[in-house]
Amino acid sequence: MTRDGIPATDGPLPPSANDATYNNGGHQNGYNHGVPANSSTKEQAAAIAVEAETAPSSASSRPRSYTFPDVCYKLRHKVQAFLAEEIPASEELLRNVQSQVRASVDVIDQALRRYSLDQVSLSYNGGKDCLVLLILILACLPACNEPTGDETNSTAKATTIPAPQSPASTAAAVPTTPIETFSTTPSSPSRSFQAIYIVPPDLFPEVDEFVDQSTADYQLDLARYPMAMRAALDAYLTDRPAVQAIFMGTRRTDPHAEFLTHFTPTDPGWPQLMRIHPVINWHYAEIWAFIRHFDVPFCSLYNRGFTSLGGTSDTRPNPVLAKTGADITASDENGSSTPTSFRPAYELMDDDEERLGRGR
């Protein structure tokens, strides 16, 4: 165990031994329908886990026997189980994460009452912050209703339905009793959640691979735009004219984020959108505590000391995480020692040190 009770690993943990429902030649995709209803809270709270080192290199190579509602319901159960945990006072970090999750879920719920699913999207690039946001959004979808234009007096019709089961599930794998209210309107998560990926010109291959894999695992409707941000948003709104708001994984310590609120319109001169920031007040350590408590797979660069991901031209491992020792350093032409090995990103604790690996 490491500080604050977060389990020590070198990356995402493998799925639970119970998770055999979607087993593909030994590779489990982490949609843990095999966890029984009376399992421990920790098991129920384990997020979608894919073994990073053994996952198929192509997302399309893995047969899919689960549906998008399966994904959303499983994540909702896990988030609810985490919020129901009695976390001891000694684990202050996880207690803070619980509070942050509640605040973020409230913002997401407000947004899903204000906008239909056709009107809202997610800015997704495979980074840690938008990954946490993605999980929370999908966990909120089973309870969302089509907005009526009046957030305080919603009359959208909802019905109680059983949790979705894939054909591969056994009768005991998922509870068959009704567990949620689910809108009967088109806002029900029966289809993928739309997202935009603004692709940098100097993309890390590891980031591209993770975006592909996570897009398949979470069944995102992801549109890619390899262009500058403003041009990408213009093109996206041309392709998706119904979109009025975008969820963003921006946090307070990010550049130009100091005065952002949960709902902030874009600046004059930019494509007109409502920017929604559910994780704006999360701290760096809280992001990683969530990811590791839920065993969420993440980009492999984070295991190599990268703490903030940009492009290859402006991003390097965080020097604060450099290991020391003659066997893990190299000498440059001037005889100076350069670290060649770094501790994983989740060992960093200070918000102010997060971007020390970024060139700008």
pLDDT in tens, 274-314: 999 999 999 999 999 999 999 999 999 999 999 999 999 99
> How many other CB atoms are there within 10 angstroms of residue 195's CB atom?
23
Question: Of 86, 107, 183, 99, which Cα lies nearest the Cα of 141?
Answer: 183
Same domain for 10 and 80: yes
pLDDT surpassing 90 at residue 336: no
Residue numbers of the domain that contains 342? 305-360
- Of 285, 303, 321, the one marking the end of a domain is 303
> How many other CB atoms are there within 10 angstroms of residue 128's CB atom?
24
Same domain for 97 and 116: yes
Same domain for 298 and 203: yes
User: E strands, the chain, where?
Assistant: 23-24, 27-28, 120-123, 158-162, 178-183, 193-198, 220-225, 245-247, 263-265, 274-276, 329-331, 337-339
Same domain for 286 and 178: yes
pLDDT surpassing 50 at residue 24: no
pLDDT at 120: 97
> How many other CB atoms are there within 10 angstroms of residue 150's CB atom?
10
Between CA 200 and CA 311 the distance in angstroms is: 6
Same domain for 191 and 48: yes
Tokens of 111: 């947004």
- Of 260, 280, 303, the one marking the end of a domain is 303
Same domain for 273 and 202: yes
Between CA 320 and CA 357 the distance in angstroms is: 9
Q: CATH number, domain at 69? A: 3.40.50.620
Same domain for 65 and 47: yes
Same domain for 242 and 136: yes
**Number of folded domains in the chain?**
2
Same domain for 101 and 30: yes
Same domain for 231 and 324: no
- Of 279, 303, 327, the one marking the end of a domain is 303
Same domain for 331 and 275: no
Same domain for 261 and 243: yes
pLDDT at 326: 47
pTM: 0.72
pLDDT in tens, 180-202: 333 333 344 557 999 999 999 99
Between CA 166 and CA 172 the distance in angstroms is: 12
Which stretch of 72-81, 299-308, 323-332 has the lowest confidence by average pLDDT? 323-332
